[in-house]
Chain A
Amino acid sequence: MERVAIQVRVNGVEHRHEVEPRTLLVHYLRETLGLTGTHVGCDTSQCGACTVLLDGKAVKSCTLFAVQADGREVLTVEGLSQDGLHPVQEGFREKHGLQCGFCTPGMVMAAYALLQENPNPTEEEVRHYLEGNLCRCTGYQGIVEAVFWAAERMRAAQAAD
């Protein structure tokens, strides 16, 4: 099968590869780059385990072809914090927003994107925003609390700057 050259910046690092046009972004991240934190849960863009940020917007990386990321910037869970945990990740730990951890990278990225867009969401807004991410373990309660915990920390940090 023909291959297409792409150049993608992932977690701040420039990558050049030749990929099959049918390669999904999630498979490029997992198999070509070895970034296995981004997970595949459903193949139909319903579960959100593969959520990453593309040019700052939350996307489901099983919905995009790798070639669609050409010339763009991707942030995965591995790149969220260079040092220790990002407040969103810390929030999940504080509030027990994860159990098996499989949906967690996608949840964390979706929660991070939400707080970028809306630093002070209501509970209804949080639950609505996370509708595209399935968690079978936590019942979502810990996740919602984690988002509030992180929101507060991030607002405080912002105010301190």
Chain B
Amino acid sequence: MPYVGQAVKRKEDYRFLTGRGAYTDDLTLPGMVHAAFVRSPYAHARIRAIRTEAALKAPGVLAVLTGEDFAREGVKPMPVGWLLPTLKIPPRPVVAKDEVHHVGEIVAVVVAETRAQAEDAALLVEVDYEPLSPAADLRKALAPGAPELHPEAPGNVAFTWEIGDEKAVEEAFAKAHKVVRLSLRQQRLIPNAIEPRASLAAYNPGTGEYTLYTTSQNPHVHRLMHAAFILGIPEPKLRVVAPDVGGAFGSKIFPYPEEAAVLVAARQVGRPVKWAARRTESFLMDAHGRDHETEAEMAFDAEGRVLGLRVRTLANMGAYLSLFAPAIPTYLYGTLLSGQYRIPAIYCHVTGVFTNTTPVDAYRGAGRPEASYILERLMDLAAEEFGVDPADLRRKNFIPKDAFPYATPVALVYDSGNYEEAFQKALELVGYWNLRKEQAELRAKGRYLGIGLSCYIEACGLAPSKVVGQLGAQAGLWESALVRVAPTGKVEVYTGSHSHGQGHETAFSQVVADLLGVSLEDVEIVHGDTGRIPFGMGTYGSRSAPVGLSAVVRAVEKVLDKARRIAAHLLEVAPEDLEYREGRFEVKGVPGKAKGFQEVALQAYLAHNLPEGMEPGLEATAFFDPSNFVFPFGTHVAVVEVFPETGEVKLLRYVAVDDCGPQINPLLVKGQVEGGVVQGIAQALLEEGVYDENGQLLTTSYMEYAMPRAAHIPRIEHGHTVTPSPVNPLGVKGIGEAGTIAAAQAVVNAVMDALRPFGVRHLDMPLTPEKIWRALRDRVPVAAD
């Protein structure tokens, strides 16, 4: 029975369940010492002086390094990996020297024998700050006379960017029957992988080689950035290992100052240096997500068909540009504004703004949740204004299934889709029309049920490299794989993809085992170590299955091709005469005349009897650069009850119908959807990174930042449709972010639907009880019509 499509239990679970996982903070090297960071308490200040004498005299202290030391070492600023035409790139130092721009920015590094000693001594570093006025808020940062963060960026504008045809949109609005408008905030979120970031660096003065164990989604990208761009050393002198990584959600894509700092410190003190973030450091330094203010308008004709969409967004970039930050509110956002709908004209304008806050970057979904949220909120508001059901208005506007490949007015060509089918399935699963009746009955009794729809689309597996290069990416977005067959026929797969919870060791093994006709246990997946894997781009943007696994498939095909030629030689037939079935090359039409995969592998290494001119060994490398993105989609439905007396929202049902093409492992798909949905629900109801007007982050622990817990969440009900993608050999699309892209607006639409009798048009996330209670306290419900 083939493995692909089966709910195979995970190979990686045993070590995690028995406490034998090896995360960065679990590692110890001989002679290891510890780093602690002195961080700015101010959002904006000039550094007048730093006194390190007292810290240097503290017990166990080996070194105290400041920005001066890093400058003397020639350590360069943190790189930016996506360039927009108008982008201003102020330097982001590893350790601040003259000025700090957000709370938590590193001012000094203390290295000591124990972690406690390093943290104790960090308190003894005296920094003489001259506080400066901060621009902590988007609007205030753009106001005339606002304090400026960087001389390179006058007016705190990092970039302006636009996409679409502004004139066509104007014309659409001019002839519109109805225009629906919405001002909204996408609140700032903090990723909060439960494993805090950690790094352990070692330096060998004999060879000049560094090793960095770190929490990374893409070790080769970390190696490239730290070696070539920050430290200025040859890449082969740095090995980056991402061992077991405890969740990431985007936050571990980027190189961070702490990683460069421990590399420099390890060389300075001549001993391995470890740092593991305190949770408060994670809140202050991990790249945050979202944080937009948006004005959106949608134009409709008299029948309720969308004529045009206009969106203006201010995107908070934080104090500096994180690695991929410029791509998130532009190409990963503006290009998704067509959603599942046929919209003839779209125009989007984005202003990226510097503020004295933590830099933002990709967080699960990255740009796509922001786009989908706008569309789905507008659809609900429009349905209300037209006096029609939101389901009917959506159905009227779907891109029909025979329209693919479909070119949107905002640069993308959707590969494949069948939106109506997933939509219909979701409505049936939730019992939509019965719920509408129940809602009307309950309203008459003073109870407020709400039903929220979300029809989302996401773009994964960014590609092809040539195109993303034209859009500003400073990287190719292909993936690599090396498939190496051992002489015994056991298979090692070295992939540039990286697993931090997704279950690659299982899913990749399933595909390889099927293609080779070997057992699951005969396949080992190796990832996360630049010392072992070929150059690859890692895992983010749900690219592992569509891009990473496609590279594996191509490499397996090359191996099989060589194996076939060896088998043909041994059997003295032509390669075309062989059929490969269940791990054996069989001569067509001659039962029993065959060579097993294992025997072929052995012959490849014995090399006693290979075809003339053939190299020994059995392995192959492939690089896969897809011809287009893939576009998973689906419909999610949330059902809530809102209690006006307290403002509380109770989630009653959540139905998710997703289409990620053929599923390699339904168990893993279900897990990805559920985890993603809960992050989206949490955005809708709980989570927000909050700054005060001085730029102090008020949410720096789980005492202040509301994370979803088991009791917050209902059972998630699933449905699936299968629409294969034509752009990769398995037809697969990504599923890692779908839930997060879909969920927030499903819940917000449901809450707003429940509050319709009170005449509340829109509330910004998170929809906390307090916020709802305040919105309702002066209102009385209008009787249901």
Contact = CB atoms under 8 A, between A and B. Distances in A.
Contacts of B22: 36
Interface stretch (B142-150, B286-294, B708-716): B708-716
Interface size class of B (residues with CB under 8 A): 35 or more
B207 interface: no
B458 interface: no
A93 B278 CA distance: 30
Interface stretch (B538-546, B604-612, B673-681): B673-681
A60 interface: no
Nearest to A30: B26
Contacts of B279: 41-44, 47
Interface stretch (B191-199, B436-444, B475-483): B191-199
B675 A43 contact: no
B707 A134 contact: yes
- Most chain A beta carbons < 10 A, residue from B22, B246, B677, B701: B246
Interface stretch (A66-74, A96-104, A151-159): A96-104
Interface stretch (B13-21, B261-269, B547-555): B13-21
Contact of A78 (B19, B116, B195, B716): B19
A39 B25 CA distance: 9
Contacts of A144: 710
B215 to A, nearest CB: 10
Contacts of A135: 194, 710
A136 B675 contact: yes
A134 B12 contact: no
A136 B701 contact: no
B195 A39 contact: yes
Contacts of A105: 16, 19
B17 A39 contact: no
B182 to A, nearest CB: 28
Interface residues of A, number: 55
B81 interface: no
Nearest to A49: B194
B247 A46 contact: no
Contact of B247 (A42, A92, A136): A136
B710 A131 contact: yes
Interface string B182-208: 000000000011111000000000000
Contacts of A46: 701-703
Contacts of B716: 139, 141
Nearest to B666: A96
B671 to A, nearest CB: 5
B646 interface: no
B19 A36 contact: yes
B18 A81 contact: yes
B501 interface: yes
A133 to B, nearest CB: 8
Residue from the set B245, B280, B671 with the largest chain A CB neighbour count within 10 Å: B671
A39 B502 CA distance: 20
Contact of A96 (B18, B667, B707): B667
Contacts of B703: 44, 46
A65 interface: no
B9 interface: yes
B117 to A, nearest CB: 10
B710 A96 contact: no
B13 A78 contact: no
Nearest to B674: A139
Interface string A83-123: 00100010011101011111111001000000000000001
**Most A Cβ at <10 Å: residue of B247, B248, B667:** B247
B251 to A, nearest CB: 10
Interface of B: 9-10, 12-23, 25-26, 116, 192-196, 244-249, 276, 278-280, 500-503, 667-668, 670-671, 674-679, 701-703, 707-711, 713, 715-716, 739
Contact of A85 (B17, B670, B678, B715): B17
A140 B677 CA distance: 11
Report the 4 A-B pairs with minimum CB-CB distance, sorted nearest first: A37-B19, A102-B246, A101-B16, A100-B501
Contact of A41 (B14, B195, B503): B195
A126 interface: yes
B19 A35 contact: yes
Contacts of B21: 37, 101-102, 104
B679 A140 contact: no
B710 A143 contact: yes
A140 B671 CA distance: 9
A43 B711 CA distance: 22
A138 B674 contact: yes
A104 B701 contact: no
Contact of A137 (B25, B247, B278): B247
Given A77-B19, A138-B675, A139-B716, A101 B12 contact: yes
Contacts of A16: none
Most buried by A among B13, B679, B703, B715: B13
A136 B13 contact: no
A36 B22 CA distance: 8
B23 A140 contact: no
B13 A100 contact: no
A92 B21 CA distance: 15
A85 B17 CA distance: 8
9 contacts: A20-B116, A47-B702, A81-B18, A89-B18, A99-B503, A100-B194, A101-B244, A126-B710, A139-B675
Given A37-B21, A140-B713, A98 B500 contact: no
Nearest to B192: A136
Nearest to A37: B19
Contacts of A64: none
A37 B194 contact: no
Given A93-B9, A140-B678, A98 B16 contact: yes
Contacts of B12: 101
A38 interface: yes
* Most chain B CB inside 10 Å of its own CB: which residue of A39, A78, A100, A137: A100
B18 A134 contact: no
B194 A127 contact: no
Given A85-B18, A140-B710, A140-B713, A134 B194 contact: yes
Contacts of B667: 96
Nearest to A95: B667
A76 interface: yes
B23 A134 contact: no
B52 to A, nearest CB: 22
Nearest to B9: A93
Contacts of B194: 39, 41, 47, 49, 100, 102-103, 134-137
B710 A93 contact: no
Interface in A14-29: 20, 22
